[in-house]
């Protein structure tokens, strides 16, 4: 079974600083995908970035990058030059390959950007 662990319930960062949100995972699937989602106070889950387990390079999307360390089973999200609008809950998720397609989510990290 897949499992996602996010050990940081809350993070406080100064505006314009970089921040790393931790995510470790456990899976027995040989091939899998890792996702990060952002959930602002409005409730909607917004897709940020995807990393395939066989991708050679770490994924990047604008200010978001994924520090993928397969041997350590970690997929940390790095946000560069943080902005006030980055304040939100952040969820790491892993895709289950077998059976019905679905994502298994971690408990999330609440990120607060201070001006």
What number of chain residues touch other proteins (CB under 8 A)?
Answer: 24
How do 88-96 and 33-39 pair as beta strands? antiparallel
The reply to whether 36 sits near other proteins by the rule CB under 8 A is no
CA-wise closest residue to 96 among 30, 24, 7: 30
Spatial distance between the Cα atoms of 57 and 78, rounded to a whole number of angstroms: 15
Q: Is residue 70 a contact residue for other proteins (CB under 8 A)?
A: no
As a whole number of angstroms, the distance between CA 87 and CA 30 comes to 34
Q: Does 102 bind other proteins (CB under 8 A)?
A: yes
Please answer whether residues 114 and 13 qualify as being in contact, where contact means their C-beta atoms are separated by less than 8 angstroms: yes
Note whether 89 and 108 are within 8 A (CB).
Answer: yes
Single out the segment in contact with other proteins by CB under 8 A; choices: 13-21, 32-40, 69-77, 80-88. Answer: 32-40
Q: Does 95 bind other proteins (CB under 8 A)?
A: yes
Residue closer to other proteins by CB (options 37, 82) is: 37
Does 77 contact other proteins by CB under 8 A?
A: no
Residues that bind other proteins (CB under 8 A): 4, 33, 35, 37, 42-47, 50, 52, 91, 95, 99-108
């Amino acid at each position: 079974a897949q499992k996602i662990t996010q050990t940081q319930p809350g993070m406080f960062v100064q505006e314009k600083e970089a921040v790393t949100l931790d995510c470790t995972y456990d899976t027995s699937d040989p091939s899998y995908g890792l996702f990060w989602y952002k959930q602002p106070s409005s409730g909607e889950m917004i897709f940020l970035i995807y990393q395939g387990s066989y991708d050679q390079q770490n994924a990047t999307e604008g200010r978001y990058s994924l520090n993928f360390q397969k041997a350590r089973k970690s997929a940390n999200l790095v946000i560069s030059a943080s902005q006030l609008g980055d304040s939100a809950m952040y969820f790491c998720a892993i895709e289950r390959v077998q059976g019905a397609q679905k994502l298994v989510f971690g408990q999330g990290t609440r990120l607060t950007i201070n001006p």
